[in-house]
């Protein structure tokens, strides 16, 4: 009886592990060659499975891609949400020693902005343009990401006493558009993960200055005072 129970538990775990490995392999293959050029065989070879293992888990390459897209976007939203909770616990929102741009940079830094991640997200968007089913799922997940960042913007504004020229949701939408556009441009230029991150951070700071009523107030007040004192001493 014990052996039967153990077998019943092991089977779902084995299936889940197979699906995870296929999805991991597909993420790499799709990002490298695109959905159209990626074959089921290529995904299976990368994952170390046979075609039989593939079709016992997915009906088609499109079904695999749809699940992968959902996993990627959910992962981004979950990462942002977890990072916000972590920063709140650390007191970053309330601390006078942390400026707005630093907080936003730390929050969005958790989302994949490496070259492989940029390539995969670009492929997902291209497929969403051609597939109504993918488009609906992508837009909903994008909206969830925007809502998460909008809440961050609201919390930062309240904690820092900062007002914005646009609504929190509009600010979040613009920030994410610029952040992703910058990542794509950097990846096209052949930048590595570190350079992609520096590029997105720089442009994100510029956008933040545009949407904040008084950009100077977004910086650490203590740092501003120290800078001012330093200038006086030099004179």
How many whole angstroms separate alpha carbon 205 and alpha carbon 100? 9
Per the CB < 8 A criterion, the answer to whether 43 and 26 are in contact is yes
- Confidence band of 119 (pLDDT split at 50, 70, 90): confident
**Lowest mean per-residue pLDDT among 42-46, 97-101, 164-168:** 97-101
Query: Which value, to the nearest 10 degrees, does the dihedral of the CA atoms of residues 212, 214, 220, 224 take?
Result: 150
How many whole angstroms separate alpha carbon 141 and alpha carbon 82? 16
- Confidence band of 19 (pLDDT split at 50, 70, 90): very high
Q: What is the pTM of this model?
A: 0.69
Among 55-59, 62-66, 189-193, name the most confident range: 55-59
User: Half-sphere exposure (CA, 13 Å, Cβ side) for 2?
Assistant: 0
**Is residue 101 scored above 70 in pLDDT?**
no
CB-based burial, 128-137: b 16+ in 10 Å, e otherwise:
beebeebeeb
pLDDT per position as a tens digit, 182-213:
888 988 898 888 888 788 888 888 888 888 88
Percentage of the chain modeled with pLDDT above 90: 19
pLDDT per position as a tens digit, 161-184:
888 899 999 988 998 888 888 888
How many whole angstroms separate alpha carbon 159 and alpha carbon 119? 36
How many whole angstroms separate alpha carbon 184 and alpha carbon 122? 8
- Confidence band of 225 (pLDDT split at 50, 70, 90): very low
Report phi then psi at 163, rounded to 5. -110, 155
How many whole angstroms separate alpha carbon 180 and alpha carbon 172? 12
Rg, C-alpha atoms of the chain: 22
Per-chain mean pLDDT for the chain = 79
Kindly list the structural domains of the chain, giving each domain's residue range(s) and its CATH number in brackets, ordered by start: 1-58 (1.10.10), 61-219 (1.10.357.10)
Helix, strand or coil for residue 59? coil
- Confidence band of 6 (pLDDT split at 50, 70, 90): very low
Q: Who contacts 74 (Cβ-Cβ below 8 Å, separation ≥6)? A: 141
Among 12-16, 47-51, 178-182, 190-194, name the most confident range: 47-51
Per the CB < 8 A criterion, the answer to whether 196 and 187 are in contact is yes
Among 158-162, 182-186, 228-232, name the most confident range: 182-186
């Amino acid at each position: 009886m014990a052996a039967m129970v153990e077998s019943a538990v092991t089977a779902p775990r084995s299936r889940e592990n197979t699906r995870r490995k296929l999805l991991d392999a597909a993420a790499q293959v799709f990002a490298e060659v695109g959905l159209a050029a990626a074959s089921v065989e290529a995904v299976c070879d990368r994952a170390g499975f046979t075609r039989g293992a593939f079709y016992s888990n997915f009906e088609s390459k499109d079904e695999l891609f749809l699940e992968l897209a959902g996993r990627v976007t959910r992962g981004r939203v979950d990462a942002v949400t977890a990072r916000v909770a972590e920063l709140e616990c650390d007191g970053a929102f309330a601390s006078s020693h942390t400026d707005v741009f630093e907080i936003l940079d730390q929050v969005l830094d958790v989302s994949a902005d490496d070259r492989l991640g940029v390539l995969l997200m670009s492929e997902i968007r291209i497929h969403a343009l051609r597939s109504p089913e993918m488009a609906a799922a992508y837009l909903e997940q994008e909206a969830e990401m925007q809502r998460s960042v909008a809440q961050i913007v609201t919390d930062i504004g309240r904690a820092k006493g900062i007002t914005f020229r646009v609504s929190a949701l509009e600010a979040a939408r613009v920030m994410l558009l610029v952040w992703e556009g910058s990542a794509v441009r950097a990846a096209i230029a052949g930048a590595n993960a570190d350079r992609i991150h520096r590029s997105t951070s720089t442009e994100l700071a510029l956008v933040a200055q545009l949407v904040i009523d008084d950009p100077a107030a977004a910086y650490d007040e203590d740092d501003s005072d120290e800078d001012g004192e330093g200038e006086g001493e030099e004179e």
